[in-house]
Structure 1
Amino acid sequence: MQIGIVTPVLIQHPAVRADWEVGAGIDEVAAIAEAADRLGYHHVTCSEHVAVPVSVAVERGGTYWDPLATFGFLAARTRRIRLVTQVLVLGYHHPLEIAKRYGTLDRVSGGRLTLGLGVGSLREEFELLGAPFEGRGARADDALRALRAALSRPRPEYHGEYYDFADVVIEPHTQQPRVPFWIGGRTARSLRRAIELGDGWVPFGLGLPELADLLAKAPVPVGMEVVLSAGRPLDPGGSPDRAARALTGLRDAGATVASASIAAADAAHYGEQLEALKELALSLGIDFS
């Protein structure tokens, strides 16, 4: 099992954000990404919402940094850590748009992109963007197939139910011959979608017993990532026993990648917590190489 971090500041959910994040900016984010990169963490994340209705922002938060711009900056400040969109909403974009923009990001980052992709659930945002909400699952499946056909190829071709293209040039395209797709969701359908069309599954909002039940019913193929959240922020410096239990619980549940939020008082403390979490993980036999 490897460990990545849910990057602070970039999403400010009212229920979980720390006070220091409210006034923090890209310098603090970059310092944290640099520390995670130096220490050997697997990934940093950035999610996507374009325009959150005020009524929804009260519950979900309204601060969501744009992944493409943010990762473009962080790519220049890091060397090996992977950049994970967790997640892009497929229905908000044409597959060729993702292929061009994120293919360029993969190229400038030296092949470090992982595309976390989801169907989306916020009807109000779909409507604001003029994107069809009904039938979004089938459209997302076709988008995944079209995106796989378009990435890593200078002259892609695809003919599907919703997307159809040929005789086009996508340059630059990705450096990686196959960009990993991590499929987000919390249903059996999302897991089946990940098995059929992706390289990993990123569930959310489910307890470990529910996750174990879903995974027992649909065993994942060898090599597919199961990316599980560590839940509430880990405090390896102050509560190492709880952090250890969280990590071992994820590993026992079948996680190949743990995605952890970190409790911290500021960006400098966050870096210290990353060091403490690495030491703790190594003591549990978790490899950072």
Structure 2
Amino acid sequence: MRLGLSTPVVIQQPGIASPWEADAGPADLAAIAAAADAIGFHHLTCSEHVGIPAQAADTRGSVYWDPLATLSFLAVHTRRIRLTTSVLVLGYHHPVALAKSYGTLDRLSGGRVILGVGVGSLREEFDLLGAAWSDRGAEADTALRQLRAAWGQPVVDGLAIEPHATTTDLTIWVGGRTLRSLRRAIELGNGWMPFGLSPDTIAGYLARRPAPPGFDVVLSTDRACDPLGDPAGTRRHLERLRDAGATLVNCVVRAEDPDHYRDQLAALHTIGDPL
């Protein structure tokens, strides 16, 4: 089981983000990304929300850095770690436009892009962007097929697309919290990245729809890990996710400041590496 990082600062959910993140800047973010890269974490993430309904901000938070800009910035400060959207809402984008913009990032980063995608859950955000809310699941299936067909291609529907991704082999992780999202991931993706589900529910879904060989199950810690303060509890939590079927884990890390965060990363990797 490999460990990835739910990147701090760029998403700040109440009750999960540490207080220091509110005042952190690009230099802190760059230093943390570089440390995660050097330690050997598998990936960094960045979510997508243009805007959060004000009445939902107390639970969802209101800080969501733009993923394309953020991951492009992080690409400059890292060398090996993968750059992952977690997740892009497919209904907000034309699939060929995604192939162009994130294909450019893939080329700039030396082929390190993973696209985490989802169908979306905020009706107000769809309305703001003029995106279609109804039938968004079926539309997402169509968009996934179009995105995969366009990825890394120099010509799409008679149009030259330059630059494009370094390869036509796109890694797609499908987000969601339903059995249908797992079906979509197995049929159209390379991995499943559920949210808001217990490990027991995830294990039950995977028992009903077994994953094929080479398929990733990307689970998230349901609380901030404290590997220096509670190494045994951190290990138990990671083991529970592994036993539920995780091949990768998006880790949220508790810290008092950026320096402490980097120390926590080293301890977390030591705990998780043998798992």
**TM-score bucket of the superposed structures, by smaller chain:** over 0.9
Q: Does 1:190 align with 2:181?
A: yes
Q: Does 1:132 align with 2:132?
A: yes
Q: Which moved more, 1:141-150 or 1:248-257?
A: 248-257
Counterpart for residue 36 of structure 2: 36
Q: In structure 2, how many angstroms separate the alpha carbons of the residues matched to 1:233 and 1:51?
A: 24
Q: In structure 2, how many angstroms separate the alpha carbons of the residues matched to 1:87 and 1:28?
A: 23
- The alignment covers a number of residue pairs equal to 275
What is the root-mean-square deviation in Å for CA atoms of aligned residues? 0.9
Pairwise CA distance, 1:251: 1.3
Pairwise CA distance, 1:184: 0.1
Q: Does 1:87 align with 2:78?
A: no
Pairwise CA distance, 1:275: 0.7
Which of 216, 220, 224 does residue 229 from structure 1 map onto?
A: 220
Q: Deviations over 1:8-33 (max 9, x none)?
A: 11011122111101111111111111
Counterpart for residue 215 of structure 1: 206
Which of 164, 176, 181 does residue 172 from structure 2 map onto?
A: 181
Counterpart for residue 25 of structure 2: 25
Counterpart for residue 13 of structure 1: 13
Give the 5 Å matches for 1:19-168: 19-156=19-156, 166-168=157-159
Calculate percent identity across the aligned residue pairs. Answer: 56
Q: In structure 2, how many angstroms separate the alpha carbons of the residues matched to 1:213 and 1:97?
A: 36
* Normalised TM-score (structure 1): 0.93
Which of 243, 249, 257 does residue 240 from structure 2 map onto?
A: 249
Q: Which moved more, 1:215-224 or 1:10-19?
A: 10-19
Q: Which ranges of 4 or more aligned residues in structure 1 deviate by more than 4 Å?
A: none
Which of 169, 189, 197 does residue 206 from structure 1 map onto?
A: 197
Q: In structure 2, how many angstroms separate the alpha carbons of the residues matched to 1:234 and 1:15?
A: 13
In the alignment, residue 25 of structure 2 is paired with which amino acid?
G
Pairwise CA distance, 1:78: 0.3
Q: Does 1:2 align with 2:2?
A: yes
Q: Which moved more, 1:55-64 or 1:94-103?
A: 55-64
In the alignment, residue 245 of structure 1 is paired with which amino acid?
R
Q: In structure 2, how many angstroms separate the alpha carbons of the residues matched to 1:33 and 1:90?
A: 26
Q: In structure 2, how many angstroms separate the alpha carbons of the residues matched to 1:258 and 1:59?
A: 23
Structure 1's unaligned 5+ residue stretches are 157-165
Q: In structure 2, how many angstroms separate the alpha carbons of the residues matched to 1:198 and 1:109?
A: 22
In the alignment, residue 41 of structure 1 is paired with which amino acid?
F
Structure 2's unaligned 5+ residue stretches are none
Pairwise CA distance, 1:56: 2.2
